[in-house]
A and B are shown apart, each in its own frame.
Chain A
Amino acid sequence: MCLSIPSKVVKISDDKTMCTVDTMGVQRDANLMMMDDEDIVIGDYVLLHIGFVMNKIDEDEALASIDTYREILEVLDEDDKKRAILEDDECEARGEQYAQEIKS
């Protein structure tokens, strides 16, 4: 019910009450009456809910989140590598296990 769709503004009507948005390739009209005149410009990313633009998406904040996720993945990737090396180093039975694997 409360879901909304990120979209990009591609056109704004002269009276600034309506706009056309692109939602992953699909274009549709959206009402701008919940936004102040100067709030939205062409190229803005917005949230669309039941035919209305309900707010603008803050690009800097969106990019900051995406950066955070990338950093987390890099750190975890690094941790995983370290852990794999550590497990490898500490594996006492490797020689025996390896020999058995070869045999089998």
Chain B
Amino acid sequence: MGLELKHLYDNFRDGDTIKAYAKIIAEDAKKLKKPINIMEVCGGHTHTIMKFGLPQLLPDNVNFIHGPGCPVCIMPKERIDHAYVLSMQPDVILVTLGDMIKVPGSNGSLQDARAKGSDVRFVYSPMECIKIAQENEDKKVIFFAIGFETTTPMTAVLVEQVIKQKISNIFFHINHVTVPEVMVELIDSRDVHVDSYNNQIDAFLGPSHVSVISGSKIYDKFPKDYGRPVVVTGFEPVDAMQGISMIVKQFVEERCEMEVQYKRVVNHDGNLKAQALIEKYFEKMSLFRWRGLGNVPDSGLKLREEYRDYDAEVLYKDVLPIAEIEDHKLCICGDILRGMAKPQECTIFGTACKPTTPIGSCMVSSEGACAAYYKYGNLI
């Protein structure tokens, strides 16, 4: 049989295969010595797990912890405010990806800013900035860049093209964050305020497309140094069930390894050209504040010093707010992200905090745990 495009969709969403894996997992899970909690790091997985009702198909001793892998959700409010403030500056066109439209900062969302007259444009691809800049030579186009390793190299390509084509009116506000650092934070935090050693994470379902770029090598240290198995898994429901099955088997067979379920696109080294682009234009920030989690060392990126002329955070530093804005004190997103609570245990879940009026990070985008529970809650 040759591969056809429809196989890449249909075969990885096949209901019978999902049920078959549910049976295999149920059989294997009978041999588990204690219940296991699997953190799916990525919001894409959270969405798949809830949309297809996978928790219902799993035995009671295999549980999910929904991780912080939604770059929109974890953006602290003060950075959303940066976008809002930048969009209000004279002669500025603020460009960002559609995911950012409705995310509320302390003054409102970018949708609100647009309603107030600022020029905010939501694009499918960062490269659309070039056309916008060429059509508006008298304006400054600021690309508000968000995303994990999956999306970072695309911003790097845009930086490269801006430099190569000598485009003088495109600037960048960089909010790219990285996955392994926050995984370490979740299991090995030295934060005195949070006892991360008390976390419940036994294993990780590794992100799909972060790993396409970075390669599975970024997880090698988790089984080795932290005693947590990682299985890099695709986003389709069959992928997820197979990935979970591989993790359960590791526990049954008393192995602790990094494995790849998503072999059709993920290899150990990843996309080396994309990694080189990231390395060329970006460097690590010493700290990035994650909404719901607090400061995570080395988890954020910024433009390298030599490209600071393109950095909107440098150019507009006098108008950008710096004060940290905390979430509501009743919000328990930090506990949810660490696996210490489930969304329905929050007193404001579904009442004061809803997808239309999100209060905490996990409700902000459809990939957040609370938003997924809210939308697909009837399945659990």
Residues of chain A touching chain B, judged by Cβ–Cβ distance below 8 Å, are 1-4, 6-8, 22-24, 31, 33-36, 45, 47, 49-52, 54-59, 61-66, 69, 72-73, 76
**Nearest CB of chain B from residue A29's CB, rounded to whole Å:** 9
Known interface pairs A1-B71, A1-B146, A61-B263; 12 further A-B residue pairs with C-beta atoms within 8 A, sorted by A's residue number:
A1-B44, A1-B72, A1-B365, A2-B42, A2-B208, A34-B153, A50-B124, A51-B154, A62-B3, A62-B7, A69-B17, A73-B17
Given known A34-B153, A62-B264, contact A1–B99 (CB-CB < 8 A)? yes
**Nearest CB of chain B from residue A36's CB, rounded to whole Å:** 6
* B154 and A52 contact, CB distance less than 8 A: yes
* A34 and B277 contact, CB distance less than 8 A: yes
**Nearest CB of chain B from residue A21's CB, rounded to whole Å:** 10
Partner of B125, one of A2, A50, A61: A50
Contact sample, A vs B, 24 pairs, CB 8 Å cutoff: A1-B71, A1-B99, A1-B367, A2-B43, A2-B208, A2-B209, A3-B209, A4-B209, A8-B5, A22-B5, A24-B6, A31-B127, A35-B273, A45-B3, A50-B126, A54-B150, A54-B212, A57-B8, A59-B3, A62-B8, A65-B12, A66-B11, A72-B21, A73-B17
For chain B residues 233-265, which have a beta carbon within 8 Å of chain A?
235, 238, 242, 263-265
CA distance A38 to B346 in the complex (A): 52
* B151 and A73 contact, CB distance less than 8 A: no
Residues of chain B touching chain A, judged by Cβ–Cβ distance below 8 Å, are 1-3, 5-9, 11-12, 14, 16-17, 20-21, 23-24, 42-44, 69-72, 97, 99, 124-128, 146-148, 150-151, 153-154, 157, 160-161, 207-210, 212-213, 235, 238, 242, 263-265, 271, 273-274, 277, 365, 367
* B20 and A76 contact, CB distance less than 8 A: yes
CA distance A49 to B124 in the complex (A): 9
Q: Which 10 A-B pairs have the closest CB atoms?
A: A51-B125, A6-B8, A62-B264, A61-B264, A2-B150, A61-B263, A69-B17, A2-B209, A59-B3, A33-B157
Given known A58-B263, A63-B1, A72-B24, contact A47–B157 (CB-CB < 8 A)? no
| Residues of A with C-beta under 8 A to B6 | 24
* A51 and B127 contact, CB distance less than 8 A: yes
CA distance A66 to B127 in the complex (A): 35
**Nearest CB of chain A from residue B123's CB, rounded to whole Å:** 9
| Residues of B with C-beta under 8 A to A72 | 17, 20-21, 24
Say whether chain A's binding surface is mostly helix, strand, loop, or mixed.
mixed
CA distance A31 to B137 in the complex (A): 24
* A34 and B5 contact, CB distance less than 8 A: no
Interface centre among A34, A45, A64 (most CB of B within 10 A): A34
CA distance A52 to B17 in the complex (A): 31
| Residues of A with C-beta under 8 A to B69 | 2
* A57 and B265 contact, CB distance less than 8 A: yes
Can you name the residue of chain A whose Cβ is closest to the Cβ of B6? A24
* B235 and A50 contact, CB distance less than 8 A: no
CA distance A25 to B207 in the complex (A): 28
Partner of A47, one of B2, B212, B263: B212
* A34 and B157 contact, CB distance less than 8 A: yes
Partner of B11, one of A3, A7, A50, A69: A69
| Residues of A with C-beta under 8 A to B99 | 1
CA distance A3 to B124 in the complex (A): 13
| Residues of B with C-beta under 8 A to A49 | 150-151, 154, 209
CA distance A35 to B69 in the complex (A): 25
* A24 and B157 contact, CB distance less than 8 A: no
| Residues of B with C-beta under 8 A to A45 | 3, 5, 8
* A54 and B3 contact, CB distance less than 8 A: no
CA distance A3 to B208 in the complex (A): 9
CA distance A18 to B210 in the complex (A): 22
| Residues of A with C-beta under 8 A to B242 | 65
CA distance A51 to B130 in the complex (A): 14
| Residues of A with C-beta under 8 A to B148 | 1-2
**Nearest CB of chain B from residue A54's CB, rounded to whole Å:** 6
**Nearest CB of chain A from residue B299's CB, rounded to whole Å:** 16
Can you name the residue of chain B whose Cβ is closest to the Cβ of A72? B20
Given known A1-B151, A72-B17, contact A52–B157 (CB-CB < 8 A)? yes
CA distance A8 to B21 in the complex (A): 29
| Residues of A with C-beta under 8 A to B274 | 34, 54
Given known A35-B273, A52-B154, contact A73–B44 (CB-CB < 8 A)? no
* A2 and B210 contact, CB distance less than 8 A: yes
